[in-house]
Structure formats: C-alpha cells, structure tokens
Structure 1
Amino acid sequence: MITEIAKSLVTIGLIFLLVGGLFWLSASTLRSFPIGRLPGDILIQKENFTVYFPLTTGLLLSLVLSAVLWLVQWLTDR
C-alpha cells in the first residue's frame, strides 16, 4: 500500500513538473490565452473592493485535471 502511494505521489509530482515547465517555456504564448477571463467568470468591482470568482476557469481546469488523472490511472493499470 505504501509503495502504491509513493508511485502515485511521484507520478503527480512529475505531472506538476511537466505542466510547470510547459507554462515556463511558453509564458509569452499563454499571455494571449484568456484563462481567468473566460465568459462565466464573475467580476464585481465597486469603489472600495473587488470580488473575482473564476467559475468557468475553475470548471475548465477541474475537467482538464480530471482527464489527466484518469489517463494516468488508465496507463498505470495496464
């Protein structure tokens, strides 16, 4: 059981390393990608405060992360 947890943590760590490296290498191209400014993200600005709730961005990132984790599980179970 401990070895399974260790393998999972290493796999998740490698995924984070890969995604972080991709963000770092393609920072200039990602600036034009509207993540955080998608339709459905809630932004309320008043005189003294600002409230930002990235609803659509959160759903999209959750969907992508779920697909990646499903793919990793599928590949490791084979």
Structure 2
Amino acid sequence: MEHLGKTLVGAGLVLVLAGGILWALRDVKGLPLGRLPGDFSVEREGFSFHAPIATMLLISVALTLVLNLASRFFR
C-alpha cells in the first residue's frame, strides 16, 4: 500500500508540473495550443463548446516521450 501512495503522489507532482509549464507557456507567441487544426470550437447563443483534440494528442505524445525517457534514466 505504501508503494501505491508514493506512485499517486509522484503522478500528482508530474501533473502539477505539466500544468505549470503549460500555464507559463500560454502567452508564448508561435505556440498555438488550443488553436491547432483539429481543435474544434462551437459557439452559439447561450452555448459554447471547445474540444481541443489535436492539442490533447500533442500533449499526450510529448508526455509519453518525457516519461519514457525518465523511466529509462532511473532504471
């Protein structure tokens, strides 16, 4: 059970770090996260829907690469 707790804390720290990096880079010109082709946005009167599918895929690939490199480094 102790191992599960450490894993959850580690995963939480990784998510906080990734969120902080994305928050810090939100105003960087040339980094169109949320505005990529494949990010869908629908706005109607009294309704708005935003599905950043391409951005989610890009972040997923980047995090997969980083975590795989980190796991190989710590073995």
* Equivalence for 2:20: 20
Contact 2:26 2:33 in 1 (8 A): no
* Equivalence for 1:9: 10
Unaligned runs of 5+ residues in structure 1 are: none
State the Cα distance separating 1:47 from its structure 2 match. 1.3
- Give the RMSD, CA atoms, in angstroms: 3.3
State the Cα distance separating 1:31 from its structure 2 match. 4.7
State the Cα distance separating 1:23 from its structure 2 match. 5.4
Structure 1 position 59 matched with structure 2 position 60? no
Q: How many Å separate the matches in 1 of 2:10 and 2:40?
A: 34
TM-score (norm 1): 0.66
Of the two, which has the highest radius of gyration?
Answer: 1
Could you say what secondary structure the match of 1:62 adopts?
Answer: helix
In the TM superposition, structure 1's runs of 4+ consecutive aligned residues that sit over 6 Å from their partners are none
Q: How many residues align?
A: 73
More helix by proportion, 1 or 2? 1
Q: How many Å separate the matches in 2 of 1:20 and 1:45?
A: 28
State the Cα distance separating 1:70 from its structure 2 match. 0.3
More strand by proportion, 1 or 2? 2
State the Cα distance separating 1:22 from its structure 2 match. 8.4
Unaligned runs of 5+ residues in structure 2 are: none
TM-score (norm 2): 0.68
State the Cα distance separating 1:48 from its structure 2 match. 1.4
Per the alignment, do residues 57 and 49 of structure 1 end up closer, same or farther by CA in structure 2, a change over 3 Å counting? Answer: same
One-letter amino acid of the structure 2 residue matched with residue 20 of structure 1: G
